[in-house]
Amino acid sequence: MLLEAKNIGFKYGAGDWLFRHVDLQVEALEVVGITGPSGVGKTTFSRILADYELPNEGTVTMDGKPIMTSSYHPVQLVFQHPEKAVNPRWKLRRTLNEGWQPNDDFLDKLGIKQEWLNRWPNELSGGELQRFCVARALGPKTKFLIADEMTTMLDAVTQAQIWHAVLDIAKERNMGVLVISHDQHLINRVCTRVLEF
Ligand SMILES: Nc1ncnc2c1ncn2[C@@H]1O[C@H](COP(=O)(O)OP(=O)(O)OP(=O)(O)O)[C@@H](O)[C@H]1O
């Protein structure tokens, strides 16, 4: 499985180019970092890969073909702020089961307690809520996960737990992972190579 972005260029509205001529190839089982100064467009680029935005130039393909966007998207994103990524009016069970139905072993692996499923998002800590966003993004049809500052707001122990589980699951499932982060230590630890934006 190969995710390929070729010659990507993007601008918001009629503004200047945010970036142009960006190329990236990620294969199954690769863990690739994306780094660069604040505001250069790393998050925007990840949104293009996951089809939240259309590029003004260039193409995104999987195994050489355009990605079908009508069903579950094989490129899934997890953001820094889980509270912005869930519906505050849905209990966590509903949010979790939006895309797929993980079993108890899977939830255990990510440190999700059964009792949390019956709570509202505002009744969980940021780290607890982020585990749900990660679980939701790791459905069986996910081929590539983009972690955009996924654990930035978490303490070191929780960061390590979540990354350990995600990398384990990615390996089991033959997934590729993109890691957007300003944390050079994390990038060095988990990534095999880096795209400097
Ligand atoms: N919807 C939008 N409309 C207009 N400009 C936007 C929009 N979203 C983001 N931008 C601008 O695009 C630029 C790139 O933002 P983006 O979040 O992609 O950068 P980034 O490299 O991920 O930054 P950071 O490292 O700080 O997260 C920023 O200057 C931002 O203000």
Closest residue by Cα to residue 65 from 7, 1, 8, 137: 1
Per-residue pLDDT of 143-154, as tens digits, reads: 999 999 999 988
The Cβ of residue 104 has, within 10 Å, a number of other Cβ atoms equal to: 9
Question: From CA 37, how far away is CA 41, in angstroms rounded?
Answer: 9
**What letters, b where the CB count within 10 A reaches 16 and e where it falls short, cover 73-100?**
bbbbbbbbebeebbeeeeebeebbeebb
Q: Is 17 in the pocket of ligand 1 (CB under 6 A)?
A: no
Domain count, the chain: 1
Task: Please report the atom of ligand 1 found closest to the CA of residue 41.
Answer: 18
The residue contributing the CA closest to ligand 1 atom 27 is 38
Q: Does the model's ipTM exceed the 0.95 cut?
A: yes
Q: Which two tokens stand for residue 92?
A: 């966590």
14 Cβ closer than 6 Å to some ligand 1 atom: no
Tokens of 47: 């949104």
Is residue 18 lining ligand 1, measured as CB closer than 6 Å? yes
User: Domain range for residue 181?
Assistant: 2-196
Q: pLDDT tens digit string along 39-90?
A: 999 999 999 999 999 999 999 999 999 888 777 899 999 999 999 999 999 9
Query: Residue 191, Cα to own-chain centre: how many angstroms?
Result: 14
Cβ–ligand 1 contact at 39 (below 6 Å): yes
Looking at ligand 1, which atom is closest to the CA of residue 149?
A: 27
pTM: 0.94
Distance 48 CA to ligand 1 centre (A): 13
Rounded Cα distance, 155 and 144, in Å? 25
pLDDT reported for residue 72:
84
CB of 16 sitting under 6 A from ligand 1: no
Q: Any residues with CB less than 8 A from the CB of 44 and at least 6 apart, and which?
A: 10, 12, 18, 19, 53
CATH number at residue 40: 3.40.50.300
